[in-house]
């Protein structure tokens, strides 16, 4: 993990937020290449959910919803972690369940100073704030801890305007917030994070079938992004692990450097949420099938993924070190689908017409794909820089280019360098990165 964290900082992908003030717990900023990578992950998710399907529609609901939302959803009463505090020297707070994993037997002690611990206290993870300038009764609202509830609130509206019938899904991507008390492992667990969630509404009798379907579909999606299938597995939750709303959940886990950990949860939420919101709001949240004349509350299958955790899995999976000519090289072997930059254009020299020709080629390529022009420093250094951000292809313009209109096309993983006519470049690059 340390190498990945260091690379992310060095190349400006992801770095601690508020650094000039010493940072703020579990919060990170995404720099230029981090934003490009993040957008590619989100776009790939939208593509799989919307563009390549006919049965899912998109939504972007508000982050701050009516506070009754969280009463109905069970988050106000039940979205808690058991918190213990060190009564010894260090006074730090920990999640009791996490400590128990590390200390499976006997009485728990503080993992930092060995001190005695307090009795566990239920600690709600929702961030509270107020609407209006004064904190008064009725003004308390919450930053959403999951995007899912916005989807349930808009179930009826979507059903009407989108003219869908179950099975159909509503997908959304957006920020969620949790007052996590455990120190995160880089971006694995942060206070604010982006979720990619889809609620798939199905006839009750089909729930199990669709649960199976989405588990496989979501595993396949990670593999399609280039993640090693050997480092992915499905793990079913035991009965004591299930969330309050779920009758069955399986996590897709990835073998992070911290061990097998959750990348995405795929839950069978049954009719819990629609029933709860129907009761609290007084609205009928059901489906009437005009063909069978049947009226029912659909059951919900929910693949819920995290953008940050997907990025972390991609980065850990892609991180590699090898040697070129006796020198160590750090390389991100990211799939061209998600690589922040698809092709770099490098003039060999900063004179003799190389920059002009390279700029011309760069302008042509960037109309098709994310491209970068780099003329700073020795050519070997520039290749290394691109290798470190995972750029799959590099085009070098040299004196021969000016004579016969060919360039060198270098491939990040195989390190092959091939002479290619400029007229074929766009096709060659888009073939690889599509
Ligand atoms: N709507 C269901 C739900 O929110 P979850 O398992 O709590 O389920 C879904 O969250 C996904 O969101 C997780 O698999 C993870 O990828 C991401 N996630 C959850 N909490 C996170 C946190 N504190 N930091 C980063 N990602 C988080």
Q: Is residue 98 within 8 Å of 113, Cβ to Cβ?
A: no
Residue 167, sorted as left (phi over 0), alpha (psi -120 to 50) or beta, turns out to be beta
Span 271-317, pLDDT tens digits? 999 999 999 999 999 999 999 999 999 999 999 999 999 999 999 99
Whole-angstrom Cα distance, residue 16 to residue 26? 8
Q: How confident is the model at residue 139 (pLDDT cuts 50, 70, 90)?
A: confident
Q: Give the per-residue pLDDT at 135.
A: 74
Pairing of β 393-397 and β 343-347: parallel
How many CA atoms, within 13 angstroms, populate the side-chain half-sphere of residue 166? Answer: 25
Q: Compute the distance from residue 347 Cα to the ligand 1 centre, in Å.
A: 44
Whole-angstrom Cα distance, residue 87 to residue 109? 10
The more confident residue out of 102 and 41 is 41
pLDDT value at 181 more than 90: no
Q: Give the per-residue pLDDT at 183.
A: 63
Q: How confident is the model at residue 78 (pLDDT cuts 50, 70, 90)?
A: confident
Query: Comparing 107-116, 181-190, 221-230, 372-381, which segment has the lowest mean pLDDT?
Result: 181-190
Q: Give the per-residue pLDDT at 2.
A: 93
Q: Compute the distance from residue 121 Cα to the ligand 1 centre, in Å.
A: 22
Q: What percent of the chain has pLDDT over 70?
A: 100
Residue nearest to atom 2 of ligand 1 (CA): 304
Whole-angstrom Cα distance, residue 99 to residue 110? 9
Q: Compute the distance from residue 195 Cα to the ligand 1 centre, in Å.
A: 7
What letter does residue 205 receive in the DSSP assignment? G
Q: Compute the distance from residue 292 Cα to the ligand 1 centre, in Å.
A: 38
CA distances from 236 to 202, 242, 248, 262, 299 (A): 21, 10, 8, 11, 19
By most ligand atoms within 8 Å of CB, the mutation choice from 304, 310, 314 for ligand 1 is 304
Q: Is residue 221 within 8 Å of 41, Cβ to Cβ?
A: no
Whole-angstrom Cα distance, residue 364 to residue 1? 38
The predicted model scores a pTM of 0.93
Q: How confident is the model at residue 358 (pLDDT cuts 50, 70, 90)?
A: very high
Residue 190 Cβ inside 6 Å of ligand 1? The answer reads: yes
The more confident residue out of 375 and 238 is 375
How many CA atoms, within 13 angstroms, populate the side-chain half-sphere of residue 61? Answer: 27
By most ligand atoms within 8 Å of CB, the mutation choice from 123, 306, 312 for ligand 1 is 306
Q: Compute the distance from residue 306 Cα to the ligand 1 centre, in Å.
A: 6
Q: Compute the distance from residue 428 Cα to the ligand 1 centre, in Å.
A: 38
Sheet arrangement for strand 371-373: 371-373, 343-347, 393-397, 406-411, 417-421
Q: Give the per-residue pLDDT at 54.
A: 94
Q: What is the secondary structure of 291-353 as a DSSP string?
A: TTTEEEPPEEEEEEEEHHHHHHHHHHHHEEEEEETTEEEEEE---TTT-S-SEEEEESSSSTT
Q: Of the ranges 119-128, 177-186, 358-367, which is most confident?
A: 358-367
H or E stretch including 384? helix 379-389
Q: Compute the distance from residue 336 Cα to the ligand 1 centre, in Å.
A: 26
For the chain, the average pLDDT equals 94
Residue 180 Cβ inside 6 Å of ligand 1? The answer reads: yes
Whole-angstrom Cα distance, residue 314 to residue 414? 20
The predicted model gives 52-76 an average pLDDT of 96
SS3 46: helix
Residue 166 Cβ inside 6 Å of ligand 1? The answer reads: no
Closest of 147, 314, 333, 146 to residue 221, by C-alpha: 314
Residue 208 Cβ inside 6 Å of ligand 1? The answer reads: no
The predicted model gives 25-42 an average pLDDT of 97
């Amino acid at each position: 993990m340390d190498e990945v964290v260091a690379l992310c900082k060095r190349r400006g992908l992801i770095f601690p937020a508020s650094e000039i003030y010493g940072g703020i717990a579990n919060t990170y900023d995404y720099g230029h290449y981090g934003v490009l990578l993040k957008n590619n992950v989100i776009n790939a998710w939208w593509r799989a959910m919307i563009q390549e399907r006919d049965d899912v529609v998109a939504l972007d609901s508000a982050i701050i919803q009516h506070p009754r939302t969280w009463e109905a959803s069970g988050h106000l009463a039940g979205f808690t972690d058991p918190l213990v505090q060190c009564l010894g020297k260090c006074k730090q707070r920990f999640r009791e369940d996490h400590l128990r994993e590390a200390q499976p037997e006997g009485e728990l002690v503080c993992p930092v100073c060995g001190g005695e611990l307090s009795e566990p206290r239920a600690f709600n993870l929702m961030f509270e704030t107020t609407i209006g300038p004064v904190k008064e009764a009725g003004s308390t609202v919450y930053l959403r801890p999951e995007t899912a509830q916005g989807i349930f609130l808009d179930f009826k509206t979507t059903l009407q305007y989108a003219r869908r019938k179950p099975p159909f899904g509503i997908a959304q991507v957006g920020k969620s917030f949790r007052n996590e008390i455990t120190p995160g492992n880089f971006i694995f667990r942060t206070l604010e994070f982006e979720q990619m969630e889809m609620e798939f509404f199905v006839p009750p009798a089909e729930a199990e079938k669709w649960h199976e379907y989405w588990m496989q579909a979501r595993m396949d999606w990670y593999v399609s992004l280039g993640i090693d299938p050997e480092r992915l597995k499905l793990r079913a939750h035991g009965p004591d692990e299930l969330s309050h709303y779920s009758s069955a959940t399986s996590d897709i886990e990835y073998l992070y450097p911290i061990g097998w950990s959750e990348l995405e949860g795929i839950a069978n939420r049954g009719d819990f949420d629609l029933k709860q919101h129907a009761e609290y709001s007084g609205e009928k949240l059901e489906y009437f099938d005009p063909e069978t004349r049947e009226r029912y509350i659909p059951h919900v299958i929910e693949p819920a993924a995290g953008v940050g955790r997907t990025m972390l899995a991609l980065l850990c999976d892609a991180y590699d070190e090898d040697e070129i000519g006796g020198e160590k090289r750090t390389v991100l072997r990211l799939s061209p689908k998600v690589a922040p930059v698809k092709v770099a254009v490098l003039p060999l020299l900063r004179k003799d017409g190389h920059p002009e020709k390279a700029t011309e080629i760069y302008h042509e390529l960037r109309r098709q794909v994310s491209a970068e022009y780099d003329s700073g420093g020795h050519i070997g250094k520039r290749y290394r820089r691109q290798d470190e951000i995972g750029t799959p292809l590099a085009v070098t313009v040299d004196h021969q280019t000016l004579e016969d209109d060919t360039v060198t096309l270098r491939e990040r993983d195989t390190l092959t360098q091939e002479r290619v006519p400029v007229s074929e470049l766009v096709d060659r690059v888009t073939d690889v990165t599509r």
